[in-house]
Amino acid sequence: MTDLTQEQIQKVLQGIAIPPQPQIMVDLQMEQMSPDCSINAIADLIGQDIGLAGSILKTVNSPFYGLSNKITSINQAVNLLGVKSVINLVNGLSIKGELGDDQIIALGKFWDSSMEVALAASVIAKQIGFAAPDEAYTLGLFHNCGIPLLMMRFENYPQVLAEAYARDNARMIDTENEQLKTNHAVVGYYVAKSWNLPAYICEAIHEHHTIEKSFAREQTNPTKKTLLAIIKMAEHICGTHRILGNCDLDLEWQRIEEQVLLYVGMSQYDFASLEQQIHEMGLGGGDYYC
């Protein structure tokens, strides 16, 4: 996105306050940049926030990860999953931490969906040979982070979202722009930017509902292009259209499927096999969508 003045940004955001980057994220980013960065130092920083540490252990021990032995300490979690994966978890939980308990409960489906899409994105990234599956995971967690902020700002947002998913002749963000004068992709972009995520991840968040345009531009960063392909595949496999939009058909995927699969070099048969593999891992299938 082109640089806007603060006044222009406020107009685009329609009065939405972007939450400040949580201190734990700042501290972890500083530690990662340190030449003396260590697993113990990362674990100590996370361990200072008892609530966050507990949430990480709960997540790591959930069926999503399918670990054979129960993880009982942050040190174990960091050693087993790696620094990047644990920091990705912190980032995701930090978004959640910006909301009150009532809002978190009300947005339960959103958090479950974000985690599933993030995990599916990392699986897809490995499958297609993308060099940074952790970045695909981060995009999965953050790509819809504008949604809870719009939920808090506009009472009718669930209805707007459902209508956006149900339109087959317009992009989702077109419906949001018409009714709200902003959209979750642009709000998510400013959250990610203010939280110091890499520029191409911020841009991918902004462009994840305008993928045709991004793919058509020759100068589009190939890493960003691959991340966009991965996130759309993950969203489709995890049924985001059903969970967030209450829509039986993934109309957006119908428009972009051929383009995405061609770009990643995957046939429809290959994609169906990948989809089944991800469902067998307990992601994006079964009664979860009923």
Contact 182, 14 (CB under 8 A): yes
- What phi and psi, each to the nearest 5 degrees, are found at residue 124? -60, -40
pLDDT at residue 267 in the model: 96
Other beta carbons within 10 Å of 36: 6
d(C-alpha 148, C-alpha 117), whole Å: 16
Task: State residue 108's pLDDT score.
Answer: 58
Tell me the CB-side half-sphere exposure of residue 183, using CA atoms within 13 A.
19
Cβ contacts of 189-192, under 8 Å, gap ≥ 24: 189/1, 189/146, 190/9, 190/12, 190/13, 190/18, 191/18, 191/19, 191/95, 191/142, 191/145, 191/146, 191/149, 192/142, 192/145
Domains and CATH numbers, the chain: 6-16+101-289 (1.10.3210.10), 20-97 (no CATH)
What confidence tens digit (pLDDT) does each residue in 88-126 have? Answer: 778 777 766 655 555 544 555 677 788 889 889 999 999
CA angle in degrees (0–180, nearest 5) for 92-98-101: 100
The residues of the chain scoring below 70 in pLDDT are 1-7, 10, 64, 95-109, 285-290
| Long-range contact pairs involving 104-111 (C-beta distance under 8 Å, separation at least 24) | 106/151, 107/147, 107/148, 107/151, 109/243, 109/244, 110/144, 110/147, 110/148, 110/151, 110/243, 110/244
pLDDT at residue 262 in the model: 95
The pLDDT of residue 235 is 96
Q: Which token pair is 167?
A: 């339109």
Which H helix or E strand runs over 242? helix 240-243
Contacts of 19 (CB under 8 A, 6+ apart): 98, 149, 191
Instruction: For residue 58, count CB atoms less than 10 angstroms from its CB and return exposed for 0-12, middle for 13-18, buried for 19 or more.
Output: exposed
Q: What is the pLDDT of residue 224?
A: 93
**Residue 234, both tokens:** 């993950």
Report pLDDT for 226: 96
